[in-house]
Structure 1
């Protein structure tokens, strides 16, 4: 069924973005692509198939996401960044999915389960360097966990990692976290272990943070400002499905939040807050039509929103750009984040291609 709207993933750009990162970090450093939450909403199968053979690891949030990748990719290493229940350890072992260990109690339970059930498992030990979410806080407990795992016949340490709490807004705290992480790292003797803490910002801005693996999400998708020419991989386009005139004194949309101050031409775009056009954009954002910025007027509805077309030379089914470039103007994910006073991550994940044509641009 053909929709009026297109959700366009540029896999050529995606692949080049990953290659740019690999070129930056060098051949001795591994690249872990973060593909949790359906690859930030972009479509995990499309993303993973495009990155196959370029990246060394895929990072997911839970076991279910990892199993979804294993349907079409049997070989790329997968690590679960979230917590994994004991009941899922067997299926992780069978599908070569590594899990995270974040405290000594969990470590003991995993070791006991794997020993009793003869389950072989790779783990990544998480260090709490300052985010205060998951991870070992005490070095003594971390050392004890390493020693216990080293004695195990079934469990092996594949990685040790942490999460930075900030990006470019607090570089000093990043350095503090990195120093804290190194206090744990020095107690791991194996040269086979991958150490990863560098996020997208740290990867492009300071070589010392890279260690022997970097873990990137937004940088691969081109959603963050960078110095390696990575471009955003997503465009969203639609069409005008209705055009009509309104007179001074009329109101537009639910709750009559927009009062028409002079005669206007109005257009209707068939996407709404169910598709990711957040209601915070109501009367607060513009889209591109015929190269012009056209303001959203009235409250955004569940399935449609209205725009001011006054003075714009357009017609029924004219192209509407919600994300991307049209002639000399463009709309970025950061533009949305600024208008909504939120993170570009939330914006990207908010877009939902349920009613759009999912288009792979190669």
Structure 2
């Protein structure tokens, strides 16, 4: 058992323990399923796992590219000493692109206006911008539509001719990818092929063509092309319900009991008394709440792991605390509480929490608040192919 701990005798009220060895294992597992190069998506602070620790770990495990969604994330990587190729893909058209171009960050262009902004930033930086043109193949979110794509290609070629940009990539994003035989995937692949053919006919010669997300990486090899973008799979969540590929969950979220009390049958708990004890019971107070990423929506469904058993959260989740009905278990203050973990012992997993909250694991991970400390378990040398341990 890993005790909650901290420097100077301070003990955090809650802690997310990130197993970097699991992340390295997941990268090796995913790499074994494709001949394409891997891009690890480390946006949103590495899905809540820590931007720089995750980035260093995946690069040491063999990843060639990192993916983020903002200038700030990209520049944080560079400031942290990460020199690997980085693609950043979500921007306003009037942003100042000069600093990211100067830092050798690849940028996605989803419209002609975005491409003009990138080219202007390249001119200010005095450096040619590396660009990935994004086509909307059916997600109807970011990217150029079929009608806009020809003009984006023509503009890109003009900017290439004067040395402002180089089109390194052409890419899109799947709306599905999570179900076998989904006709949306086939339709998007066809639209992507047409867009790629038009780009090449227009004089562009991208080095990297990419479409696949985590789900497509494990289940749709026809979408792999030159590069595959692994997101949630990096962190150990199986991306398709019909496939298990051997990923290891990397995060364990834990806290501890700070108060217990014995109550009679018929005792109402938390705001509104939505939960009433059916028999005499012990209640355990746990100092995590929705400010720490415990969704209010899990009330009435969620369980935590205490003393080798799942116990229900009793009543509403509040900003800073939850109450757990532990029945007759001899729970004491200081006892460990696992909100979620790998599931090896029967404890809830992040997939369980996503189900209880009616969301996806991505939201659970990224919702874990700043008050929750992060602690990192290093990559074990014997599992790292002779590489040195990852510095975090």
| TM-score interval, normalised by the smaller of the two chains | over 0.9
Equivalent residue in structure 2 for 1:299, among 316, 337, 341? 316
Tell whether the 8 Å contact from 2:260 to 2:331 is kept in structure 1 after alignment: no
Partner of 1:269: 286
Shift of 1:99: 1.1
Say whether 1:166 aligns with 2:176: yes
Partners of 1:208 and 1:128 in 2: CA distance = 18
Cα 1:73–1:23 change in 2 (3 A) is farther
Tell whether the 8 Å contact from 2:256 to 2:287 is kept in structure 1 after alignment: yes
Shift of 1:191: 5.4
Shift of 1:228: 2.7
Cα 1:181–1:340 change in 2 (3 A) is same
Cα 1:115–1:267 change in 2 (3 A) is closer
SS at match of 2:168: strand
Tell whether the 8 Å contact from 1:142 to 1:184 is kept in structure 2 after alignment: no
Cα 1:261–1:77 change in 2 (3 A) is same
Shift of 1:162: 0.5
Partner of 2:155: 145
Cα 1:132–1:270 change in 2 (3 A) is same
Partners of 1:335 and 1:327 in 2: CA distance = 13
SS at match of 1:202: helix
1:194-225: CA deviation from partner (whole Å, max 9, x where unpaired): 11110001011121110000011101111224
Partners of 1:313 and 1:279 in 2: CA distance = 27
TM-score by length of 2: 0.86
Partner of 1:205: 219
Tell whether the 8 Å contact from 1:203 to 1:210 is kept in structure 2 after alignment: yes
Tell whether the 8 Å contact from 2:98 to 2:124 is kept in structure 1 after alignment: no
Partner of 2:53: 46
Cα 1:182–1:283 change in 2 (3 A) is same
Say whether 1:9 aligns with 2:26: no
Partner of 2:186: 175
Equivalent residue in structure 2 for 1:35, among 39, 42, 50? 42
Partner of 1:214: 228
SS at match of 1:167: coil
Tell whether the 8 Å contact from 1:294 to 1:308 is kept in structure 2 after alignment: yes
Partner of 1:120: 128
Tell whether the 8 Å contact from 1:62 to 1:84 is kept in structure 2 after alignment: no
Partners of 1:45 and 1:115 in 2: CA distance = 30
Partner of 1:102: 110
TM-score by length of 1: 0.93
Tell whether the 8 Å contact from 1:324 to 1:331 is kept in structure 2 after alignment: yes
Partner of 2:372: 356
- Aligned length in residues: 359
SS at match of 2:228: strand
Which runs of 5 or more structure 1 residues have no equivalent in the other structure? none
SS at match of 2:142: coil
- Residue correspondence of structure 1 range 219-258 to structure 2 within 5 A: 219-225=233-239, 226-258=243-275
Tell whether the 8 Å contact from 1:99 to 1:122 is kept in structure 2 after alignment: yes
Partners of 1:252 and 1:216 in 2: CA distance = 42
Tell whether the 8 Å contact from 1:18 to 1:51 is kept in structure 2 after alignment: yes
Partner of 2:70: 62
Shift of 1:325: 5.2
